[in-house]
Structure 1
Amino acid sequence: MTWTPHATVAVVVEDERGRFLMVEERSGGRIVFNQPAGHVEEDEAILDAVKREALEETGWVIEPEHFLGLYTYKAPTNGVTYYRFCFIGRARQQVTDELDTGIIAAHWLTLDDIRKLGDKLRSPLVIKSIEDYRKGRRYPLDVIADPQT
């Protein structure tokens, strides 16, 4: 078997009330919670993937403002290694209630609410990225050298 890394994007979005945009979804027969996130498609710019995934999963137009970091995670359920390009974004407008297949709902949750979800979080990266965001970690978007943008 050939090892193939999986490139994904995610976005941490906090509203003016201190709540975070989260996605409730079905994954591997379970209902889990995650930031808006997903795979980068072939020939897709990273920032375009962030906007697309957020819109498809939440119905919100999201504007990426900062790069938060690159996170690596090997999922114990399938052994796949994911490289998660995580961003900080601002919610601009909710434009649809139609959500991607497998998405149950989008929610605005406090950090306490998210912590209480425990093993219902899709991965430990959900909390880790919010903690990094709250510590003030921010990088300019131009650290992503994308020839398409």
Structure 2
Amino acid sequence: MPNRWKPNVTVAALIERDGHFLLVEEDTADGLRLNNPAGHLDPGESPLDACIREVLEETAYDFTPTALVGVYLNRFRRTRTGDDITYMRFAFAGTLGTHHAWRTLDEGIVRTVWMTPAQIRASRERHRSPVLLRCVEDYLAGQRFALDVVHTDPSVGRPVAE
């Protein structure tokens, strides 16, 4: 099976404080877009570790995941290339820790913003991911799963034997 289909695995953080959610504004090929702090799972990394890393890189905050909100699958066609891509997103709720104001945000991240659910709903045309709002709505509905439902075998972090 040389052309086996594989989704792109991503992680996202749902961070709520005083009725506002922490989002990032990103410069994309389609203009400025809003998203949860999110990114791709890297080789040798667990989804939890990826989420912690992505939040730090995109917001300059430490992040501690406390629950899985859900796993989301969506399909997207890139505007520039026409590529047909499927994403599988693991969305985690959690708490913010220390802010490292000295850190430079990831390439493409313009700024962080705190938005109410109403503001997020009203800005759908600016969402980078079509599941951004669904993740927020599931969080608001109280959907939470224990972190141990996402198991990463120790073999993931080990070098592959040749």
TM-score by length of 1: 0.93
Q: Which runs of 5+ in 1 are unaligned?
A: none
Counterpart of 2:95 (choices 83, 90, 98) is 90
For this pair of structures, how many residues does the alignment match?
148
Deviation >3 Å, runs of 4+: none
Secondary structure of 2:77's counterpart equals coil
Aligned partners of 2:30 and 2:141: how far apart in 1? 34
Query: Which structure 2 residues correspond to residues 1-149 of structure 1 after superposition, within 5 A?
Result: 2=3, 3-15=5-17, 17-77=18-78, 78-96=83-101, 97-148=103-154
Aligned partners of 1:28 and 1:7: how far apart in 2? 21
Q: Which runs of 5+ in 2 are unaligned?
A: 158-162
Q: CA deviation at 1:124?
A: 2.1
Q: Percent identity?
A: 37
Q: CA deviation at 1:4?
A: 2.8
Aligned partners of 1:120 and 1:29: how far apart in 2? 9
Aligned partners of 1:101 and 1:131: how far apart in 2? 28
Q: CA deviation at 1:146?
A: 1.2
Across the aligned residues of Structure 1 and Structure 2, the Cα RMSD in angstroms comes to 1.6
TM-score by length of 2: 0.86
Return the index of the structure with the highest Cα Rg: 2
